[in-house]
Chains A and B, each alone.
Chain A
Amino acid sequence: EAQVTQNPRYLITVTGKKLTVTCSQNMNHEYMSWYRQDPGLGLRQIYYSMNVEVTDKGDVPEGYKVSRKEKRNFPLILESPSPNQTSLYFCASWSQGANVLTFGAGSRLTVL
């Protein structure tokens, strides 16, 4: 089944404790992206990647890192999480040929 898989789905952590949210897609899509969604603010792009080893900042990159060493994986790294990074995070992938953006199921992160 074609899908985008995120882990963990739910996480409660404390300020300053590094964490990684993994994202993997099995559709051979070139483009991958991370979004955060907060009440009243809609979906905001954190980082995106057009292909392997190519990453760019989105609208709200502060406090986040990403890497794209393989086409299928695009992990989101919070080096020193803070409470304002408490949010619902979505990973998505896109293929220009297919013209469809596919989302993962979301990761709900709480930073205390």
Chain B
Amino acid sequence: RKEVEQDPGPFNVPEGATVAFNCTYSNSASQSFFWYRQDCRKEPKLLMSVYSSGNEDGRFTAQLNRASQYISLLIRDSKLSDSATYLCVVLSGAGNMLTFGGGTRLMVKP
């Protein structure tokens, strides 16, 4: 089992739709969680950190479920510009190991 797993997609949704991605992690001692966005052939960029209480940034909402060991990203009112790959990143261990999920590809269509 991979340490951090994501559904690779692609998720094909129409503009204005609400879409949600999940990311599961295997290390119960994981400390911090992040969502990154990566456009084709560009570097990943931080979208948002994921806090225990959940957090929202405009149309984006991130949730953490420690009991079930997953994090989620909800995108409301999808825009064409949201089309990208979304990477889940988990920080674990005393050595501060960062582990990436394989990414979920989102395609928003007109």
Q: Which residues of A are interface residues toward B (Cβ below 8 A)?
A: 31, 33, 35, 41-43, 45, 50, 88, 90, 94, 96, 99-101, 103-106, 108
Q: From A6, which residue of chain B is reached at the shortest CB distance?
A: B43
B2 to chain A, nearest CB (A): 10
B41 touches A101 (CB 8 A): no
B43 touches A101 (CB 8 A): no
Query: How many B residues touch the partner, as a band?
Result: 10 to 19
Chain A: interface secondary structure? Answer: strand
A81 to chain B, nearest CB (A): 21
Contacts of B98 in A (CB 8 A): 33, 45, 94, 101
Contacts of A90 in B (CB 8 A): 43-44
Contacts of B92 in A (CB 8 A): none
